[in-house]
Amino acid sequence: MADKEIKVVFEREYVVPLRAGWLKAQKYKRANRAVKELKIFLARHMKVYDRDLNKIKVDILLNNEIRFRGIKKPLHKIKVKAIKYDNGTVEAKLFEIPKHVEFELAKKLKKQAELLKKQSNIKTPEIKPQEKAETKEEAEKAKEDKVEAKEKEASSKESELKLEKTKAKEARHTSKTSQQTPKIQRKALQK
């Protein structure tokens, strides 16, 4: 029974008015209210039992399109394709996907396809069990060597910084008179 397929009961297309609902909300809550109005509309028109809003699922593209102009200025109306399933849930999708969204989706799919190609083209050489043990030991030694090299570099950098700090401190604390040459006074002023 758990493998039972969910069947589509019916599909409908609506132009959902959102403005009347979101005008009642504060400016910073208008987009949230618009999504809620969409769910209320679909619950009423798709005959959802007890008008339970939790049974209505809004597609991410639809949600993004409603919020496209910002949270304070959601869309006034939107064309939606609603699908009701036999388990009582309703799925709301955009009727037509905008060109810029189609472009972004195609771009993502292309990147995913390239990643899959790269992963499938990488071939791992077959290693015999004895070679595996040797390579594991070698790999561990290489890791230890890398860690040691990094530690040496870090310690050398730290020692250089300490030397620079001590030189800077000494320069600040030495008296300026000892560094300067004695002033030559004019004989006219000595009289």
What value does the mean pLDDT take over residues 109-116? 90
Give the structural domain span for 34. Answer: 8-100
Is 180 within a domain?
A: no
What value does the mean pLDDT take over residues 41-63? 92
Model confidence band, residue 131 (pLDDT cutoffs 50, 70, 90): low
CATH of the domain at 66: 3.10.440.10
Reply yes or no on whether the pLDDT at 187 is more than 80: no
Is 94 within a domain?
A: yes
Is 76 within a domain?
A: yes
- How many domains are there within the chain? 1
Is 126 within a domain?
A: no
What value does the mean pLDDT take over residues 24-53? 93
Per-residue pLDDT, 161: 86
Give the DSSP per-residue string, 96-164: S--HHHHHHHHHHHHHHHHHHHHHHH--PPP--HHHHHHHHHHHHHHHHHHHHHHHHHHHHHHHHHHHH
Reply yes or no on whether the pLDDT at 20 is more than 60: yes
Reply yes or no on whether the pLDDT at 18 is more than 90: yes
Which range is least confidently modeled, 18-32, 38-52, 168-182? Answer: 168-182
Q: Are the beta carbons of 72 and 28 closer than 8 angstroms?
A: yes
